[in-house]
Every structure is written in C-alpha cells, then in structure tokens.
C-alpha cells in the first residue's frame, strides 16, 4: 500500500515539473508576464532605491533614477514579482482597478457584458499572477476570477460550436486571450467534425506550411 | 528597461503563425551581451556590498538578477519554440528542405535538424521487420490504393512504379498510386480530388 502511495506521488511530482517546464517555455505565458503593474515603491530603510542603474550598458537612462521612497511606479509584472517579498522591503503592489471591489461587483452582476479584451487582454492570467502579492483581497479576487469565467464560458462554448464558415470577429472581440484560445479550440473541433462528415478526413491536403510559405512568397514578390 | 530585445524576439515568434519559421534573429547576440553586462555589474556590486557593507545596493542587485532570469527565460523559450517548428518541418516537407527555409535556420539548428532526421530514420528502419516503415506517410487514413489527382502546376515527367511515366502538366488529371502522390500533394503540386 505504501509503495503505491509513493509511486502515485512521484507521478504527480513528475507531472507538476513537466507542466511547470512547459509553462516556463510557453511564449504566451511570457508575453502575459510583460504586462505592466503600477505600484507604490516603498522602502523601510532610508536609502534611495536602484542606485546607479541609469549608467548601465547599453547606456540607456533607466526609467527611474533613484526613485524617492514612497513614489508610485509602473513596472512589468515579472519585475514586480521578482522584487516582491513578504516584508515589503522594496515595494508593495496596488491592485489594478479591474481587480478591485468596484469592478468585482460589476462582474458578479453580469460577467458577459464586460469587454475583457479592452480591460487587459490577459485578464485571467494576469489576475492569477496578482495573487502572488499577498493582498488581503486575494480570496475575493480568486473567487471573482473563477465566477467571471463560469459566467462567460457557456456563451463562448456555444458560439464556437455554432459559427461555421463565418466571420467570427464580432464573437471574439470582447474575449480575453485565454477565452480566445478556448474559442479557437472549439472552432477547430467543429471544423474537424464537419470535414469528417464530408468525407474529407481521408483527403490528403497540402501542408499548412506550404500554403503559408506560398502566401509569404507572393507578398515578397509584390515588394 | 531591460529585456526589451528579448521580448522583441519572443513577440516576433509569438506572432508567426504555426508552421512558419521566421529567419533566425540576430538580436539574440544583443540579448546575450546585455546579460553579460548585467552579470558583471552585479558581480562588482555584490563584492562591494559584502566588503564595503553597502546593503543599499541589494535592491539594485535583485533587480539586475530579475532581468537576467527574464532574459534567460525569453532566450530559452525562443530557441525551444524554433526547434519545435523545425521538427515539424521534417514531417511536413520531408528530409529535404527548400533553400529559402534553410536560410532561415542557424548553423546549430541545421545540425539539430540533421540529428533529428537521422534519429527518425533509424527508428523507422527498426519497425516492420526487415523493410522498415515510413511513418511520415499516410498521415490521413487511406481509403484506396489509387487516387484521382489534378495537377496544380507544371511539374514535368513523373515515373510510376511499373516504368511508365506520366506528364504532370497544369490542370491535367491522373489516376495514380496513393503512396507515390502523397509527397507531391503535400507540397502543393498535385491536388487530391474526391470522387
């Protein structure tokens, strides 16, 4: 019995590591983390922060030369995450408006009306990363993220399964990146099924690479 | 802000649709140079912090360290994603890549591609007894031995198994063995016509 437990846990660990590794390398995860977060720069000691960085190669003056204690700055998420610690010695983070109470109420009223693409195209991803900053509102934020998704999911699923061979730009306009990915997956399933029904499943087709390459070659020639 | 060049590389690849391989971006060299500079600055600051007791340098050191980690993540993801695309090329194009694509690959990527080809070939030879099995064929389930094809562009003479040859001229239609045509259809020279 103990051997089984051990093997189970090792499998789980391997799976977790694999998943983490894939996430580390996935381009979309990296792009998501480049989003900017505005926060308050605070330091408990009296020294200026980030000394001398403006003189670093390649000699581009850095955004903030010696920011004063207590000043507000906008930093990318990856940087904020790296500099943050529990004791808030370097900085503390202010939640973007869309994750605060006001907007959370809007989402709970009707999640479908909100334009999540405009609100920051990586609403769910960014929101999940925000939980790192130990805000007292974390429990509410995670609930809000989850409930918002649940509220919107049905419509995304239905529309992706019913829009065949038509212009879907209106349907995806107000979706965030994660939802768009879901929509695309749904569309692919629909298209594959329709193709199978038409007997196209056994039809050999030109590879998509070839088609894309030919398109590019044509535009190159036009230049 | 640091890591901008690295993000540029990642974004360029993220934008490229699946299957396309953009030219190898030489900007990678700039990223590595930035990393070297950050590292050296940090080395000297760490020494100064330890010996000179300058604890106020620590946020700066942390900041450079974050940038180094970010640059590393971007570079590794960039190279890895390209390898995945190059691997797909073997399955889509076959073992001989068109010149234009080869120019998009760096020397190391070309070497990787050759190693991959070899591994795949060795594996395929090990299947199916003495003959081996070409698993890059029949990617869609075959329904018949012979198929109807239409020529999309002029290709020229094409030899069939029993010695006879067929002239593949644009818009001509032929009834040919499936396994002979598969490559040409995938390359966009022939079109599989469903009856």
Q: For the segment B50-83, what is each residue's pLDDT rounded down to a tens digit? A: 898 877 778 788 889 999 999 999 899 999 999 9
Residue in B closest to A57 by C-alpha: B37
Using an 8 Å CB-CB cutoff, list chain A residues near B3. Answer: 78
| pLDDT tops 80 at residue A220 | no
Considering only B25-29, B53-57, B93-97, which range has the smallest mean pLDDT?
Answer: B53-57
Residue in this structure with the two tokens 């940087």, named with its chain if needed:
A79
ipTM: 0.79
Residue B87 pLDDT level (bands cut at 50, 70, 90): very high
Render pLDDT for B156-185 as a digit per residue (tens, 0 to 9): 888 887 778 888 888 888 888 888 888 888
Q: How high is the pLDDT of residue B158?
A: 82
Name the closest residue on chain B to residue A33, using Cα atoms: B70
Distance (Å) from the C-alpha of residue A22 to the closest C-alpha of chain B? 9
Is A90 part of the contact surface with chain B (CB cutoff 8 Å)? Answer: yes
For residue range B102-121, what is the model confidence (pLDDT) as tens digits?
999 999 999 999 999 999 99
Query: Distance, in angstroms, between B163 CA and closest chain A CA?
Result: 25
For A50, A99, A103, A178, B50, the CA distances from A106, given in Å and listed in that order, are 39, 11, 5, 20, 51
pLDDT in tens, A55-98: 222 222 334 444 555 666 677 888 888 888 777 667 777 788 88
| Closest-approach residue (CA) in chain A for B85 | A209
* Side-chain half-sphere CA neighbours of A172 within 13 A: 18
Greater confidence (B18 vs A193) lies with A193
Q: How far is CA A216 from CA A50, B100, B101, in A?
A: 46, 11, 12
- The reply to whether B124 touches chain A by the CB within 8 Å rule is no
Q: Would you state the pLDDT for residue A46? A: 24
Contact A48 B69 (CB under 8 A): no
Which residue in A has a C-alpha nearest to residue B66's C-alpha? A82
Which residue has better confidence, A167 or A30? Answer: A167
- Among A198, A189, A180, residue whose Cα is nearest residue A162: A189
**Nearest residue to A104 via CA among A145, A156, A154:** A145
Q: What average pLDDT does the segment A113-126 reach? A: 86
Interchain contact A181–B (C-beta under 8 A): no
Write out chain B residues lying below 8 Å of A27, CB-based: 10, 13-14, 77, 81
Q: Is the dihedral of CA B28, B31, B33, B39 positive or negative?
A: negative
pLDDT at A145: 94
Q: Which of residues 43-62 of A touch B (CB under 8 A)?
A: 43, 45, 47-53, 56-58, 62
Confidence band, pLDDT 50/70/90 cuts, at residue A102: very high
Percent of chain B with pLDDT over 70: 100
Q: Is the pLDDT of residue B135 over 50?
A: yes
Q: Give, rounded to a whole angstrom, the gap between the first and last alpha carbons of chain B.
A: 60
- Contact (CB<8Å) A24/B77: yes
Average pLDDT, chain B: 88
**What is the model's pTM?**
0.80
For residue A210, list chain B residues with Cβ-Cβ distance below 8 A: 92-93, 186-188
Q: For residues A140 and A147, give the distance between their C-alpha atoms in angstroms, rounded to a whole number.
A: 10
Q: Does B44 touch chain A (CB under 8 A)?
A: no
């Amino acid at each position: 019995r103990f051997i089984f437990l051990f093997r189970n846990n090792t499998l789980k660990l391997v799976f977790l590591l694999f998943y983490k590794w894939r996430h580390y390398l996935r381009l979309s995860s990296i792009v998501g983390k480049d989003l900017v977060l505005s926060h308050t720069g605070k330091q408990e000691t009296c020294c200026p922060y980030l000394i001398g960085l403006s003189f670093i190669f390649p000699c581009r003056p850095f955004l903030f030369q010696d920011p004063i204690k207590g000043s507000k700055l906008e930093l990318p998420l990856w940087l904020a995450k790296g500099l943050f610690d529990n004791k808030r010695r370097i900085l503390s983070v202010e939640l973007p408006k869309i994750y605060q109470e006001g907007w959370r109420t809007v989402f709970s009223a009707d999640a479908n009306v909100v334009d999540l693409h405009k609100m920051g195209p990586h609403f769910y991803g960014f929101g999940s990363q925000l939980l790192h900053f130990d805000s007292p509102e974390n429990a509410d934020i995670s609930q809000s993220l989850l409930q918002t998704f649940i509220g919107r999911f049905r419509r995304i699923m239905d529309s992706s399964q019913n829009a065949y061979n038509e212009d879907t730009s209106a349907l995806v306009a107000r979706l965030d990146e994660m939802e768009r990915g879901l929509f695309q997956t749904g569309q692919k399933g629909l298209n594959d099924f329709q193709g199978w029904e038409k007997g196209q499943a056994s039809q050999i087709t030109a590879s998509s690479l070839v088609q894309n390459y030919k398109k590019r070659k044509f535009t190159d020639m036009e230049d | 802000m640091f890591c901008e060049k690295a993000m540029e590389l990642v974004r360029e690849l993220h934008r490229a649709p699946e299957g396309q391989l953009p030219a190898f971006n030489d900007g990678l060299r700039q990223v590595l140079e930035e990393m070297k500079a950050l590292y050296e600055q940090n080395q000297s600051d760490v020494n100064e912090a330890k010996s000179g007791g300058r604890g106020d340098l620590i946020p700066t050191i942390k900041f450079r360290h974050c940038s180094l980690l970010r640059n590393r993540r971007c570079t590794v993801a960039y190279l890895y994603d390209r390898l995945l695309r190059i691997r797909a090329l073997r399955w889509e194009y076959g073992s001989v890549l068109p010149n234009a694509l080869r120019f998009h690959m760096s020397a190391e990527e070309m070497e990787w591609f050759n190693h991959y080809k070899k591994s795949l070939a060795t594996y395929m030879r090990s299947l199916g007894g003495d003959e081996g099995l070409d698993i890059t064929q029949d990617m869609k389930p075959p329904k018949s031995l012979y198929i109807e094809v239409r020529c999309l562009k002029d290709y020229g003479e094409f030899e069939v198994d029993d010695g006879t040859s067929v002239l593949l001229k644009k818009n001509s239609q032929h009834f040919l063995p499936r396994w002979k045509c598969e490559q040409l259809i995938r390359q966009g020279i022939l079109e599989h016509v469903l009856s």
